[in-house]
Homo-oligomer: A and B are copies of this chain.
Amino acid sequence: MLTPHPSPKKPDTSIYERRESRVRSYCNAMPRQFNRAKGVWLEDNQGGRYLDFLAACSSLNYGHNHPVLKQALLNYIEQDSITMGLDLFTDAKAAFLDALENCILKPRKLDYKAMFTGPTGTNAVEAALKLARKITGRRNVIAFTNGFHGMTLGALACTGNEGKRKGAGVSLPDVSHEAFDGYFGPDVDTAALLERRLEDSSSGLEAPAAILVETVQGEGGLNAASFAWLRRIAEIAKRHGALLIVDDIQAGCGRTGHFFSFEPAGIVPDIVTMAKSLSGYGLPMALTLFRPELDQWKPGEHNGTFRGNSHAFVTAAAALRHFWKDDSFASTVRARGTQLQNRLEQMAQAHGFTTCGRGMMRGINVGTGELADVITSTCFRNGLIIETSGADSHIVKVLAPLIITENELNQGLDILENALNAAMAKPLSIAAE
């Protein structure tokens, strides 16, 4: 088993100071220059080694540079296969669609068509919103408190975070933000509140084209909706003529222990957005899936130069065939999720905190961003890359690669537990130094 050993000093960052916008963020908390990565491990260019509990925000569910995907990609490149294919027919795209059909859709009895949008999550969301508005002829979209769906104006309008929204500099109309499951505490049924307003023709809540929901809110604090609530939302959407869009960009691709996060809830969304871990290798790729009857696009009505990123098709097809040919991988992920939950629960209880999340996207709510920051900083100094989530960055979030072993997961959680204990052992002012 490898040991994390961070490098002691910060790298020369003058080129970044000179030439890169200070909009960058992760590097502020993790000031090292990284160069190599394999599985759950990252290395910096001074020989430091880090255990990765961030997985590029769930974009590396199969770890860094997985050997099977790597080999497929190398072969593809070496043969001068097409790299950039716009939306032409290519062997790479056909292979991906075939894998999608056979490894994912058929076993789950799902009948979806795939739209290759520009290869970013926000683009997949924008396409979904357009389609829902086009089909229903309605403008309003219901999104939820703490939802996060992207940074371009259409998706940003659905995002709750104030700091991100202010970046727009313009109004973000045509979206209503409703309360997510549990938002007002355990005693308030937020689905009932929503339905009450939709049924009232004088509530000011306009009939929605779509209800856009994450089953587990990745950026918004790892809030996991109950399956009952999700079913209620699906029913409400249906009853009120709205399409149900599940944004599975962060929670999909196995993160919750199922390929799609909505599977165990027993719902079938009209539209699903995917990105992040879709290519399996961290390469840009996004997808908007929808029921075939909804495929009412005109050719090119929504397009994007890089919608035919063949390298991503290759690694994505390899990932689907390698990890999703049967349930064994998902089953392991679920086991690992239970392991994670048990240990987090233990840590949380020791200090009167609570846990949140589902499957392999879980966290501890430590109450304040200040404390969470002390904990994650300590972790980083001990070789664990880990980040926070939530409006106030008050959730310490574990998003380890799904291929992590039981031992490695414990190894990281030990670092986390020590950091938590240390932070709680002394006044915050000292801990923060």
Contact = CB atoms under 8 A, between A and B. Distances in A.
A206 interface: yes
B281 A83 contact: yes
B305 A80 contact: no
A297 interface: yes
How many copies of the polypeptide does the oligomer hold? 4
B177 A203 contact: yes
A105 to B, nearest CB: 8
Q: Most B CB atoms within 10 A — which of A13, A56, A84, A299?
A: A84
Contact of A88 (B26, B126, B275, B298): B26
Contacts of A177: 203-205
A25 B87 contact: yes
A336 interface: no
Contacts of A90: 33-35
A391 interface: yes
A299 B24 contact: yes
A350 interface: no
Interface string A141-180: 0011111001111110101111111111111011111010
A199 B194 CA distance: 20
A284 B306 contact: yes
A348 interface: no
B23 A88 contact: no
B21 A113 contact: yes
B83 A74 contact: no
Interface string A20-37: 111111111011111111
A302 interface: yes
A160 B301 CA distance: 13
Q: Most B CB atoms within 10 A — which of A21, A24, A146, A201?
A: A21
A94 interface: yes
Contacts of A32: 88-89
Interface size class of A (residues with CB under 8 A): 35 or more
A171 B98 CA distance: 38
A82 B37 contact: yes
B196 A25 contact: no
Interface stretch (A58-66, A254-262, A355-363, A410-418): A58-66
A19 to B, nearest CB: 5
A201 B83 CA distance: 33
A353 to B, nearest CB: 19
A130 interface: yes
A27 to B, nearest CB: 5
A18 B114 CA distance: 9
Nearest to A310: B282
A242 interface: no
A24 to B, nearest CB: 4
Contacts of A21: 113-116, 288, 290, 295, 297
9 contacts: A15-B94, A25-B303, A36-B81, A37-B83, A38-B80, A119-B119, A122-B152, A129-B169, A134-B167
